[in-house]
Structure 1
Amino acid sequence: MDAVVLNGAEWFAVLRIGLGLWWLESWRHKDKKGWFERGTGIAWAADVAANHRWAAVRGGFDAVVRPRPTTMSYLVVYAELALGLGLVLGLLTPVALVGGLLLNVLYFTLMIHDWAEQGQNAMMGLISLVALFAMAWQTWSLDHVIGLF
């Protein structure tokens, strides 16, 4: 049996798709009823932000998130879904990669005191950067098929 050999562009597409699956899993395992009806995700983040060592995080959370918990709940949950679908399908891939990187930076900053969570955020951010600079949308993507990028 012949070995399957992928070229560099195909490996970058595998990396992009794997990152997309990671975002889809993050979306899938969220308790959406808790996030949307009870505000559990934002309430947890509010507690983390209130005790954060950086005043900018506390102030930013109070200015942006706290006044609109329902909107922010939907934004976080559906951003993860959109990122996952965009990366797996390769649709608007550069936008999804930059958006995912920004979301990971936000998560990383919020959770700076909890190093147990930082490995995942750091690796997802690194994969986003590598896939972005490798232009991982050029292979196995709708972007390539329809000539978007």
Structure 2
Amino acid sequence: MDTIWLGGAEWLAVLRIGLGLWWLESWRHKDKKGWFERGTGIAWAADVAGKHRWNAVRSGFDAVVAPRPRTMAYVVVYAELALGLGLVAGFLTPIALVGGLLLNVLYFTLMIHDWAEQGQNAMMALISVVAFFGMGWQTWSLDSAIGLFA
């Protein structure tokens, strides 16, 4: 593989780190007080799910998220932080990539009517797939340094 400036493995690391920074920005800009104390994030998602065109999304939200809004707020917020840190540091990278892909698919599905959200989540999911199948943890990662997923 011919590349400019960096090798292929390094470019995959750049892609992985960039995705991690994207997740960290998603975590950073959340109003944590609103999410944790007032339930704003889950209330917003409940409103979106309640109007969703697919019954499976409405019933799935009602079964999984609605009964435990406080717990789910913590799960969402800290999952984004964990994904960001894991991808930037390259620690448990394949797990972070698959977890991020699943979260993006959930976000994409919930926000199926919002073109901006679809674009962001589709691109993040694509990066996850490319970094996973390209084994983006081979360079500039803790996984590589300690011999995980070799």
Q: TM-score, normalised by structure 2?
A: 0.96
The answer for the alignment partner of 2:39 in structure 1 is: 39
The 3-state SS of whatever aligns with 1:30 is: coil
Partners of 2:5 and 2:36 in 1: CA distance: 45
Are residue 48 (structure 1) and residue 45 (structure 2) matched? no
CA shift for structure 1 position 9:
0.3
Describe how 1:74-89 pairs up with structure 2 within 5 A: 74-89=74-89
Gaps of 5+ in 1: none
Structure 2 unaligned regions, length at least 5: none
Is the partner of 1:18 in helix, strand or coil? helix
Q: Secondary structure at the match of 2:22?
A: helix
1:73-129 Cα shifts (integer Å, max 9, x gaps): 000000000000000000000000000000000000000011121111000000000
Aligned-residue identity in percent: 85
RMSD (CA atoms): 0.7
Alpha-carbon distance in structure 2 between the residues aligned to 1:93 and 1:129: 12
Rounded to whole Å, the distance in 2 between the matches of 1:57 and 1:104 is 15
Distance 1:76 1:29 in 2: 13
Q: Which residue of 2 aligns with 1:145?
A: 145
What letter corresponds to residue 126 of structure 2 in structure 1?
L
Work out the CA distance in 1 between the residues paired with 2:117 and 2:98. Answer: 20
Count of equivalent residues: 146
Offset of 1:142 from its aligned partner? 0.1
Spell out structure 1 runs of 4+ moving beyond 4 A.
none
CA distance in 2, matches of 1:137, 1:95: 11
Structure-1-length-normalised TM-score:
0.97
Separation in structure 2 between the aligned mates of residue 114 and residue 134 of structure 1, nearest angstrom: 30
